[in-house]
Amino acid sequence: MDFLAIFNQDFFYTAIRMAAPIILAAVGEVMLERAGIFNLGIEGGILFGAFLGVLGSYLFQTPWMGLVLAILGGVVLGFVFGWATISLGANQAVTGTGINILFLGLTSLLARMIWGVRDVPLTVPAFQDISIPLLSDIPVLGPVFFRHSLLVYVSYLMVLVASFVLYKTTWGLKIRAIGEYPKAADTMGIHVIAWKYGMSVFGNVCACVSGVILSICFMNCFVDNISAGRGYMAVACVILGQWSPVGALLGGLIFGAGNALQMRLQIYNVPIPTSILLVIPMVLALVMVLLVRGKASARPAALSKPYEK
Amino acid sequence: MKKRIAALTLAAAMTLGLTACGGGGGSQPSSAPSGAGGSDGQGGGDGVSAAILLPGTINDAGWSAAGYNGLMQAKDEYGLAAADYSESVPLAEQESTIRDYASRGYNLIIGHGNDFLDAIKSVSAEFPDTAFAVTNSVVEGYDNVVGIDVKNEEQGYVAGYALGLLTQSNKVGFVGSTEGLAQKRVENGFVQGLAASNPSAQPVITYVGSMDDSAKAKEQANALFDEGVDCIFQYAQGAGIGVVQAAEESGKTIVVTSPSQQEMAPNTAAMYVQTDTKQQIVSAVKAYTEGNFNSSLKIEGTFASGLFKVGGYSDSLMSADVQSQVQKVVDDLTSGAIQLEVTAAS
Amino acid sequence: MPAKPEASTKPEASANYDRLDQLVRRFEKLFNILIPVVAIAVSLLIGSIIILAQGASPLEAYAALLSGAFGNAYNLSNSLVMATPLILTGLGIALAARCGVINLGGEGQIIMGGIFATFVGTLPAMQGLPAPLYIPVCLLAAFLGGALWAIVPGYFFARHGVNFMITTMLLNDIASGIITALVQGPMKEPDKFAPQSAQVALSARLPILLPKTRLHAGFLIALILAVLAYVILFKTSFGHDLRTLGENPTAARHSGIHVFTMQMVIVIVAGGLAGMAGSAEILGSQYRLRSGFLSNYGYEALAVAMLGQKHPFGVVIAGILFGALKAGRGTMSRAADLPTSFSMVLSGVIIFFVAISPVLMKLPRYLAIREMNRKNRQDSTLSNAA
């Protein structure tokens, strides 16, 4: 077996596709954590978004309404999470855990209430892959980068947008100030609480749209627990990527590539137990987290600390 | 001010939640299992109440759904007084769940999967008048515990045999969910069946590592197609939907596990090999009502005993010759002309 | 560290401050008990909306929940058996949280504990060992297994500041990959096809404390360890340093506390306790290793630790509450015909309210200040009258 043959065009296509929902959720989490809030509840957000995406598409027979509903859901979730962690000063890790368990149950419960117990899940209209004219005809690069679904492009664009906002605008300066020295930011006249709420909403909307990618871009139906741990991976990406959007992108690509690799290693029948191959993405991420330890100072100084005036 | 925002948010969240609930108010779950059911079937099971414990959910499109559907059909056709279920029973809660059913007077309690065997054995002594059955198990020496030896390998064998005849590239894929006992036996039979029909074909065995991650299962199937696999057997529970869709989208042949899955892939699903536990459950109920439920009772889960159903042969994908060859294997398995052994080595 | 109350602007500030402090303390004691109760009551109320939407009766459902959890000796024992791993893991998480370390790795540490205990418990060379010797050896092995799974992320955290939450979380998935591989290969019961280990030796099993129930000695061990944790936390200088480190890291560093050693010790203890939780379930209840033998307990134990206000005895009570919920939820969903996902919604809501309930801890001070002001006003009207 030629090991390098694994890394063909299809490998990179899979890696980029699989990485997209994780990256989008991770970019949202980067902004949230930069403003000093740690959201472990991304997994719940992704599930909620995946469910609402299918619900919207089911009710209005167009995936666009699914997207709209998921964004609205993200806004609501952002306010609820913000209310708990910002206004009430709840422990952020525990709140997140609660949200994860809650939405794992709630989405499954609602899906069954609305669509009943079915042999196979109900299918709804979904987003189709879009080949970008001209670009998608470039040999090798075209099929790898330019034949994806709309929201996959959005995920990668969001990395650029978030980087730009965070490092090149006064908004970004404010957000970073809030995460590092909330008291100082407050005395400078920045409305700390409002900005934190804003980032909570942004982060949760990203998580919900990430769920939409899973349910009505990659698939066209809702399955219980469709997120299957991607929210936790997104949290890992933020730390892996040292709290920068580009870092989160690289982190997401490690998970995407790790999964693409793992799938192909199974196919090549390497003499390693399948269950070990399946955790290759996590092993890769762990190794990376331990390797990039030198810059632990990138962590926002006031992360997970509730802000009190 | 802050409080007002908070209140508004909550209200909005509640409204959203309620409208979502309201939308579904009309369509309750298709079958409400609890309570005393009518005995308007062929009869025979009057007064017998049965309960099944499932490792997964009743809509997992696989193992647990098969157990649930089997019990519900048995209830309708055989006229059970009550048929209840518990889904997604965690390993740590098996014993208490079984005991709960037993102490509430259920006559027949079924553990759907070998995982339930230990717990059922330990509860059974306390309830000598209750009948217990465990699928995927062989039980000896218990008066009120019967094993239903499900020969999953036969299911895999047929799928493997059919795909061996259909493959052009001689690379045939298998996608499983997680590596449980039933999965492994199906996989084992699949490899044997493939070797029987097409010795030069290579089986490519993969697992998704999740019962639910349909998006990942879809990528796994696409990865198989990218590596030259041209047909697939999916046995991946809830995640398997992704495999079915991948096959339909890339036009690759697939063998599925239920007629409803075949409807999702009308152009590429060659056939289905379904598990239907109704007959086994009816056998257990029958033995119980007729007083034959004892340590010598054996319930087989095989083609011969009607556990597996094959059908939906697609004329566009399978020539008449191939169809008859596959049907012959099914007949041979049913008649016992083909006997399969699973090897303990995995 | 009570903050200076606003009331201290009065001339008799210092005396007022002491009285206020006493009042606050009295209210706080009450609230420590009251808050979890309120959190759970509100959650049940929200849950009843869903039950109604499902067309069932909330009263009937919750009555079934109660009877399933406490209805008879067996059900009660079942609740305590479910609580045992939660208490053990929760104790470790609470101790770690006391010094500012959030352990999300309970899941993986439980798995490693289960693996080590089963390995020792099925080792042919040790089969002859008498129970009083065999059981401690198994428990010790489980402690080591859990500690091993915490020590690497612990080292990188304590030495290099690598985020402990994320490394332990990734190790959870890796541990579940390892256990799945082990029960199919090296640890599989010989000559069997099912992916599970052989049963542990009879002399390695934890004895059942009450006949006809499931209550095993693991629960007793958890209680003893809770008392031990209490003594260490509140009656030793180590415990004092530990709390200082959590409450005021800068002060702790300046006062000469060896932070690295402290964090390593606490990480090992937390991992080890979670490992023992895994072994308690294997040696006391399931007797053999299977993939997913205690799934989700690691995350729920985090909620138990927080609900128990990071106090060892609080953890015991919260653990029993969560254990009871686990034990009763099946009965509830069967009685009211609710899908399993409902009990997940209920635990999620409870954890959410547990998380936001500390805001109520601000109430004692508020109440105390109001009480003080009222008294002061009375005093001043009295003196004015005079």
Name the more confident of C2 and B234: B234
| CB-CB under 8 Å, B344 with C184 | no
Query: Rounded to a whole number, what is the distance in Å from the CA of B276 to chain A's nearest CA?
Result: 13
Say if B57 is an interface residue toward chain C (CB within 8 Å).
Answer: yes
Q: What is the mean pLDDT of chain A?
A: 90
**What pLDDT, on a 0 to 100 scale, did the predictor assign at position B28?**
32
B87 to chain C: nearest residue by CA? C340
- Taking each helix axis from N to C end, the angle separating A42-60 and A9-34, rounded to the nearest 10 degrees, works out to 110
Per-residue pLDDT at B25 exceeds 50: no
Per-residue pLDDT at A292 exceeds 50: yes
For chain B, which residues make up each domain, given as ranges?
17-150+278-301, 152-275+313-335
Q: Which of B87, B185, B346 sits opposite C184 (nearest CB)?
A: B346
Which residues in chain C show pLDDT less than 70?
A: 1-16, 385-386
**Interface with chain B: mutation pick from A117, A128, A148, A214, highest number of B CBs within 10 Å:** A117
3-state SS of C128-166?
CCCHHHHHHHHHHHHHHHHHHHHHHHHHHHHHHCCCHHH
Burial of C14 (0-12, 13-18, 19+ CB in 10 A): exposed
Confidence of residue B44 (pLDDT cuts 50, 70, 90): low
**What pLDDT, on a 0 to 100 scale, did the predictor assign at position A109?**
92
CA–CA separation, B34 vs C55, rounded Å? Answer: 13
CA–CA separation, B119 vs B110, rounded Å? Answer: 11
| CB-CB under 8 Å, B118 with C285 | no
**What pLDDT, on a 0 to 100 scale, did the predictor assign at position B293?**
85
Neighbouring chains of B at 3+ CB pairs under 8 Å are A, C
Q: Which residues of A touch C181 (CB under 8 A)?
A: 273-276
Confidence of residue B45 (pLDDT cuts 50, 70, 90): low
Q: Which residues of C touch A224 (CB under 8 A)?
A: 341
Percent of chain B with pLDDT over 90: 52
Tell me what the mean pLDDT of segment A148-170 comes to: 94
Lowest mean pLDDT among B152-156, B162-166, B304-308, C229-233: B304-308
| CB-CB under 8 Å, C294 with B92 | yes
User: In CATH, what is the architecture of B152-275+313-335?
Assistant: 3-Layer(aba) Sandwich (3.40)
Per-residue pLDDT at A19 exceeds 50: yes
Query: Rounded to a whole number, what is the distance in Å from the CA of A302 to chain B's nearest CA?
Result: 22
**What pLDDT, on a 0 to 100 scale, did the predictor assign at position B42?**
47
| CB-CB under 8 Å, C184 with A109 | no
Q: Which residues of A touch C299 (CB under 8 A)?
A: 97, 100-101
pTM here is 0.88
The predicted-structure confidence for B179-216, as pLDDT tens digits, reads as follows 888 899 999 999 999 999 999 999 999 999 988 889 99
The predicted-structure confidence for A42-79, as pLDDT tens digits, reads as follows 999 999 999 999 999 999 999 999 999 999 999 999 99
The predicted-structure confidence for C240-289, as pLDDT tens digits, reads as follows 999 988 888 888 888 888 889 999 999 999 999 999 999 999 999 999 99
3-state SS of A241-270?
CCCCHHHHHHHHHHHHHHHHHHHHHHHCCC
Closest CA to B273 of B228, B326, B230: B326
Confidence of residue B8 (pLDDT cuts 50, 70, 90): very low
Per-residue pLDDT at B17 exceeds 70: no
ipTM value, please give it.
0.89
- Residue A117 gets which letter from DSSP? S
Q: Which of A40, A286, A296 sits opposite C171 (nearest CB)?
A: A286
Q: Which of A14, A72, A224 sits opposite B223 (nearest CB)?
A: A14
Tell me what the mean pLDDT of segment A71-91 comes to: 93
The predicted-structure confidence for B47-80, as pLDDT tens digits, reads as follows 889 999 999 888 888 888 889 988 998 888 888 8
Query: Rounded to a whole number, what is the distance in Å from the CA of A69 to chain B's nearest CA?
Result: 10
Say if C219 is an interface residue toward chain B (CB within 8 Å).
Answer: no
Amino acid at B29: P
The predicted-structure confidence for B114-136, as pLDDT tens digits, reads as follows 999 999 999 999 999 999 999 98
| CB-CB under 8 Å, C194 with B181 | yes
Rg (CA), chain A: 20
| CB-CB under 8 Å, B31 with A117 | yes
| CB-CB under 8 Å, C281 with B114 | no
The top-level CATH class assigned to B17-150+278-301 is: alpha beta
Say if B90 is an interface residue toward chain C (CB within 8 Å).
Answer: yes
| CB-CB under 8 Å, A73 with B16 | yes
Instruction: Enter the CATH code of domain C69-367.
Output: 1.10.3470
C173 to chain B: nearest residue by CA? B209
Per-residue pLDDT at B35 exceeds 60: no
Tell me what the mean pLDDT of segment A256-272 comes to: 91
Query: Rounded to a whole number, what is the distance in Å from the CA of C260 to chain A's nearest CA?
Result: 16
Tell me what the mean pLDDT of segment B298-310 comes to: 87
Percent of chain B with pLDDT over 70: 86
Amino acid at A180: E
**What pLDDT, on a 0 to 100 scale, did the predictor assign at position C253?**
81
